[in-house]
Structure 1
Amino acid sequence: MGALNHLRVLDLSRVLAGPWCGQNLADLGADVIKVERPKAGDDTRQWGPPFLKDSDGQDTSEAAYYLAINRNKRSITLDISTPEGQEIIKKLVLETDVVIENYKVGQLKKYGLDYESLKSLKKDLIYCSITGFGQTGPYAHRAGYDFIVQGMGGFMSVTGEKEDLPGGGPQKAGVAITDIFTGMYATSAILAAVVHRDRTGVGQYIDLALLDVQVATMANVASNYLASGVAPKSWGNASPNIVPYQTFKSSDGWIIVACGNDGQYRHFVKAGGQEELADDPRFATNPERVRHRDTLVPILSAMVAKKTKKDWIDALEQAGVPCGPINNFQEVFENEQVIARGIKMEMPHPKAGKVNLVRSPMHMSETPVVEKRPPPLLGEHTDEILKERLQMSDADIQALKNKGVV
């Protein structure tokens, strides 16, 4: 049933950060109700192509983007701008453990669905707000988007090729990392709040900001600046602190070589027939290799270019040097390790018959991840939830549908 099968979550969030958190909780067994706008639903439902194909090979209304972040949830459509919609949310909250929302600061207060209003109904409620810039500060009322925050939080200043090389300049990540990390931090914070509530009976409010998360996840890069006062710069596919720790072009493709210590470096150059590079005092230790990077890297690049990608990977794996290929996603899902770990999974789907998804990476011996339902169709569980949670009759539900509330 999953470790969190005792938790009920009301997910009022859209797009990525909040839904990613909700999916994590659902994977762990929580009953997550995704609240969506009638007719339109979550914006990501239309963020395509590509869209999921039905059994006839035609596009459905389910974008691949939406499918990636909403499995194991139930969907209810609800117009929370109406008094009836607000009343339904309040009734659902009475038997909900966690609320997740990512509306603009103050927007839910006008509907009586902010933390203080809902806390008055349920004292031990855990309420997680996700915004671009948090609930305080001069930017609090600004809309925050992953791309913008990647720039503001310093990530793009250290990502991409070096500015003095062709193609150099700031570069965003290939995936919305700020949203993903925020969803992960939200998951951790919510679980900590659940533990606190279970021990004390007291709920709490969680204020998560994309900008805070982006700066926090810069880790050693931010620490380098704080320690030195020198703003880090972009290094392309190289590390500012370790050499060699980068990509090299072999005779038939690119490889990654990551020498984390002097012993691995010696094995690397020995595999290339140039062990004398490990005895040269300019290159014998990592600090010296970092200082003499511009001299050493061209030598290593010429060395790597003499062999094929397979020859290098075979040789370096035998020598115990961390290395690997740079795969496209066809190669990712054909990789023997990816297959062995079961990362790709298939679930039944009411429109397509089946849908291929990426399995949660959480492997737990006693409470394994739950795979109970595919990403829901828009409003797929509206009737079910209203009957189950609020004991509404068919006539009650039809009246709400006639008014456009659900």
Structure 2
Amino acid sequence: MNQSTQPPSQATGALAGLRVIDLTQMLAGPFCTQILADHGAEVIKVEAMSGDGTRSTGPFRDDDTLRDFGGYFQSVNRNKQSIAVDLKNPQGREIVRRLIDGADIVVENFRAGVMERLGLSYEQLRETNPRLVYGAVRGFGDPRSGASPYADWPAYDVVSQAMGGMMGITGPDRETPTKIGPGVGDTVPALMLCLGILAAVYRARETGEGQFVDVAMTDCVLAMCERIVYQRSYTGVVSAPEGNRHPLLCPFGLFRARDGWVSIACAHDGFWEKLAHAMDRPDLITDPAFATNAARVTNAQRVIDTIEGFTSVRTKEELAQCLGSRVPFGPVYTSAEIFADPHYQVREMLVDVEQPGSSEPVKIAGVPIKLSRTPGAVRHRAPLLGEHTADILLRAGYALDDIQQMRDSGTVRQA
């Protein structure tokens, strides 16, 4: 069976046998649970009757007549099953409680207090499922781990990038903080939550006791920007944007090519020597202004001008042939260049999946974590809203008549 069409319930992988109840939406939470699903966990996505808000975000294929979901939702919800439940309905909440009682993990990214108001707090859930690992990702964390003064503030990627310090060291100059392009304020916390959940699952298997796993988006961004902490602590320096340079290493950044930009990183003098030879400038190895990293940092603009004298008259491909195997080097790619590069093909990082309502498959990013014996995979497209409602309820012990009654009353929705 093709990896993009295999049902999620037939998952294999290192996490096969784990059951996850996914109460997340938008990006951070779904990205975390998708990683678990990619590696074999059974992930049941519990959605409101109207669905995750990203279903309507797009982009959509021009010929998509269904428009149940677009690219955003497809890219972070593959390999999952969907059940649509009205959580305002007591019967709907009872369904979710039953599902969680039979699960290893529950993940949510509501504001603090929402699950408590639904009667689904960690403390209530662990009464009937003591092995439960409960993962939560919020902008400023959960009060259980430390009540932030901003605990009630809503947060998205742009907020955590700003307050976690990332924007403060990114930009063309010291006066222009800049947002990082991808949503790393969501995806990095998702990765850290995934790690925390798996650590807690390992512990639960040893002890029989689950625990609460709390991740704050802002905390994770700060941890990723660790340099700003030690620079402030060791030297008193308040870090600021450095443009395409590095404050401690040179050369380490972007350089103009004839048809775009390339990255070159000489983290030690050995790489500088190889770069000097590649440029046919052995004099740069012995020149006191260039010979050591400390000297190059002091004379950074001269170093950059010298390198760009070499790179700016050559194409990215010419520079790749010259530098690619000698020093840390990479062209600045557009998405079109990524699609054309054989690296991403052989690494299975561009995967075709079905797009319901469209006549042609679409590509999404593949699984970056490669395991030799139990590899993860993109087995199935993202689910339609409520696509697996009946099947999930049957496996949870509900009778067909009960399921029909719940459909008729608007408690659940079936695609």
Identify the TM-score tier after normalising by the shorter chain: over 0.9
1:346 is aligned to 2:357: no
Question: Residue 120 of structure 2 corresponds to which residue in structure 1?
Answer: 113
1:47 counterpart (53, 57, 60): 57
Distance 1:107 1:297, change over 3 A: same
Which ranges of structure 2 fall in alignment gaps of 5 or more residues? 1-11
Deviations 1:33-76 (A, max 9, x none): 000011x211111112x2145xx554723121111100000000
Preserved CA contact (<8 Å) 1:250 1:306: yes
Question: Residue 149 of structure 1 corresponds to which residue in structure 2?
Answer: 160
Preserved CA contact (<8 Å) 1:158 1:234: yes
Preserved CA contact (<8 Å) 2:351 2:378: no
Output the amino acid matched with 2:328: P
Shift of 1:260: 1.9
1:330 counterpart (326, 330, 336): 336
Shift of 1:235: 1.4
Aligned partner of residue 264 in structure 2, secondary structure: strand
Shift of 1:4: 1.2
Q: Report percent identity of matched pairs.
A: 36
* Deviation larger for 7-16 or 57-66: 57-66
Aligned partner of residue 62 in structure 1, secondary structure: coil
Preserved CA contact (<8 Å) 2:34 2:76: yes
Preserved CA contact (<8 Å) 1:52 1:62: no
Aligned partner of residue 171 in structure 1, secondary structure: coil
Output the amino acid matched with 1:232: S
* Deviation larger for 116-125 or 344-353: 344-353
Output the amino acid matched with 2:339: F
TM-score, with structure 2 as normaliser: 0.91
Deviations 1:312-363 (A, max 9, x none): 2211135x11212111001101101111212111234543353322111121
- Measured in 2, the distance between the counterparts of 1:219 and 1:152 equals 14
Quote the RMSD (CA, aligned, Å): 1.7
Deviations 1:359-405 (A, max 9, x none): 11121111111433210011100111111123331x21222122221
1:80 is aligned to 2:80: no
Preserved CA contact (<8 Å) 2:105 2:134: yes
TM-score, with structure 1 as normaliser: 0.93
Preserved CA contact (<8 Å) 1:52 1:61: no
Preserved CA contact (<8 Å) 2:64 2:357: no
Aligned partner of residue 345 in structure 1, secondary structure: strand
Distance 1:76 1:59, change over 3 A: closer
Output the amino acid matched with 2:403: I
Preserved CA contact (<8 Å) 1:36 1:76: yes
1:158 counterpart (169, 189, 195): 169
- Measured in 2, the distance between the counterparts of 1:230 and 1:9 equals 44
Deviations 1:11-43 (A, max 9, x none): 0011111111110111111110000011x2111
1:373 is aligned to 2:385: no
Deviations 1:105-142 (A, max 9, x none): 11111110110111112111111111110122211122
- Measured in 1, the distance between the counterparts of 2:261 and 2:305 equals 15
- Measured in 2, the distance between the counterparts of 1:253 and 1:28 equals 37
1:99-248 map, 5 Å: 99-135=106-142, 136-163=147-174, 169-248=176-255
Shift of 1:101: 0.6
2:298 counterpart (278, 291, 294): 291
Output the amino acid matched with 1:199: E
Aligned partner of residue 324 in structure 2, secondary structure: helix
- Measured in 1, the distance between the counterparts of 2:17 and 2:409 equals 34
- Measured in 2, the distance between the counterparts of 1:178 and 1:361 equals 19
Shift of 1:83: 0.6
Output the amino acid matched with 1:8: R
Question: Residue 11 of structure 1 corresponds to which residue in structure 2?
Answer: 22
Preserved CA contact (<8 Å) 2:106 2:135: yes
Q: How many aligned positions are there? A: 396
Preserved CA contact (<8 Å) 2:78 2:381: yes
1:356 counterpart (358, 363, 383): 363
Which ranges of structure 1 fall in alignment gaps of 5 or more residues? none
- Measured in 2, the distance between the counterparts of 1:182 and 1:391 equals 36
Output the amino acid matched with 2:109: N
- Measured in 2, the distance between the counterparts of 1:102 and 1:253 equals 40
Preserved CA contact (<8 Å) 2:78 2:383: yes
